[in-house]
A and B are shown apart, each in its own frame.
Chain A
């Protein structure tokens, strides 16, 4: 690989990293603003016009707060927990295709950091690593509420990863590949996978709510029962990392859902637009389309959060094991029959 290519890859990594951080930062602002609108309020509006400097103020506050490590906590693991959470949240974006190849100054640049042929498995691996951050943090705090939150997070993620994986198998029967880049290409125009896999998408959606610990499934940080859940003992920027990781996870899982089911960067009439805009701006427009879809999904995450109350723990387990897994298996069977006889 020549030097220029390496430079371009690094630039791409930096840009994606920056975008996911900025999106996560402004997700916190959007969450508060959207929550306010759903509740007929105004929301944060004091820091800058419409309060758009609020995330910066929050960040400054987080950095300036006192660092507290409890006496009975395990200091090393206590710091490893949030670091691992934010690390795993950040590296999942490496395999997501953000657009078609862009031609800039005669050089073709893929808008995907790396198109490994087991992209989906990579995402699964990273997502299941994510729960270690929560587990280690909750365990190292040496606090019963933190521990309970961590145990809940672990058992919830294990339960929902199964049905998530099963819902993906049905998708793989349709696409025939594990590479996210190829899956994105296959959905050219309006051939989005959600048309062929509506049940699979629904399962994947529910499971990604559970995996990101978002509201109907936010039992690991259930305030009414567990004080703060796994991050009860955390303060300052270590707490900030946990909260930040949740928003990055939300961004990444939105991007994964868009890539797998909602046509990635594809949109009806994209061939015409690509001819019209040329080889540079056409794919970038596709990126804008994908980004809009991702933002809509983030909005959906927040919309659900401010609508649906949290599950009871046994209901959560019932839903995971008794409803979603049988449904996912039925989905696989039906998809398999359909593939065998009709295509």
Chain B
């Protein structure tokens, strides 16, 4: 019966000829292939010294941004924590006192802001949720460490450096 697609291809099983059974030509061919690789440039990127270039929209370590006057943008609204599918973000809000206007942009700010880097999946939903453009995943990769508690990054690690320093 003719097959429907007509794509069937009948393969002949040919017995190996003498040179194929002797293996030696095949081995010589294999050796020449590996020798070709011997002189190729290695593809290794030697990590601590060299780094692979990240793409423009690479999502790395979070940073909490400041505005043009160096004030923290975050107002501790909690939308990032709410949007976070991995529940990695926690924060405690506080009211801005008199004399702290140069530190925080709005009357409310995050006194504690912690991201658990072991929970974070770097999806970028916090970035999208933020109404104040305060959080961006524009950093490097997360450094390795020994203890779980050291992966909970607080404000000391997350907030951008002040402007005039």
Contacts and interface: CB of A to CB of B under 8 A. Distances in A.
Say if A and B assemble together.
yes
Interface of A: 34, 36-42, 45, 303-304, 306-308
B43 interface: yes
Interface in B30-65: 30-31, 33-35, 37-38, 40-44, 46
A303 B35 contact: yes
A308 B23 CA distance: 11
B43 A308 contact: no
B58 to A, nearest CB: 25
A37 B44 contact: no
A38 B42 contact: no
A37 B38 CA distance: 5
18 contacts: A34-B38, A36-B42, A37-B38, A38-B34, A38-B38, A40-B40, A40-B41, A40-B42, A40-B43, A42-B44, A45-B46, A303-B31, A303-B35, A304-B27, A306-B34, A307-B31, A307-B34, A308-B27
3 shortest interchain CB distances as A-B pairs? A307-B34, A42-B44, A307-B30
Prevailing SS type, chain A contact patch:
loop
Contacts of B43: 40-41
Given A42-B46, A308-B27, A303 B40 contact: no
Given A39-B37, A40-B37, A308 B30 contact: yes
Nearest to B43: A40
Nearest to B28: A307
Contacts of B41: 40
A52 B130 CA distance: 53
B34 A42 contact: no
A34 B42 CA distance: 12
